[in-house]
């Protein structure tokens, strides 16, 4: 995935998310990783999922998908959160990483936004140590 809006400035990326998707978010900081920009993933039904892209100093790519509960409802059947994960997300900014329940990613909730951070080359435990919601 490549960014459609290239920026290294979190405030600019947050403003883009707000103006494009009407989503007010505070982007995470990821230790030793630089913001690259914002892109979008088209899901079934032509639903768009905003994706914030990062790269670290070892060339590892990191993607933060920005869901909302309304977006999850539109993706019903395609994306689900089991009961255990939903209860863990009840607490704002609590990092959730469980290879069995959530897969190879890291999740947390901030207000109505649910962030899912993944990297093809970094395990969830490494992400957990580096991500600041």
Nearest to 64 by CA among 127, 20, 129, 19: 127
- pLDDT, residue 102, reads 46
User: Would you write out the chain's pLDDT as a tens digit for each of its 133 residues?
Assistant: 889 999 999 999 999 999 999 999 999 999 999 999 999 999 877 889 999 999 988 888 999 999 988 888 888 767 767 777 777 787 778 788 655 444 568 889 898 899 999 998 888 788 888 999 8
pLDDT of residue 7: 97
pLDDT of residue 99: 52
pLDDT at 75: 83
Per DSSP, the residues of 15-75 read HHHHHHH-----PPEETTEEEEEEEEEEEGGGEEEEEEEEEETT--EEEEEEEEHHHHHHT
**In Å, how far are 8, 87, 115 from 82, measured between CA atoms?**
34, 9, 16
């Amino acid at each position: 995935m490549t960014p459609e809006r290239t920026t290294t400035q979190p405030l600019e990326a947050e403003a883009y998310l707000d103006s494009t998707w009407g989503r007010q978010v505070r982007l995470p900081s990821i230790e030793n990783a630089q913001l690259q920009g914002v892109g979008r993933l088209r899901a079934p039904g032509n639903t768009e999922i905003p994706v914030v892209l990062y790269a670290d100093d070892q060339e590892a790519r990191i993607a933060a998908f920005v869901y909302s509960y309304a977006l999850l409802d539109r993706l019903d059947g395609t994306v689900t959160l089991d009961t255990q994960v939903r209860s863990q997300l009840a607490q704002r900014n609590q990092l959730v990483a469980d290879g069995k329940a959530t897969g190879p990613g890291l999740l947390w909730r901030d207000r109505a936004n649910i962030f899912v951070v993944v990297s093809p080359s970094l395990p969830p435990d490494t992400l957990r140590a580096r991500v600041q919601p």
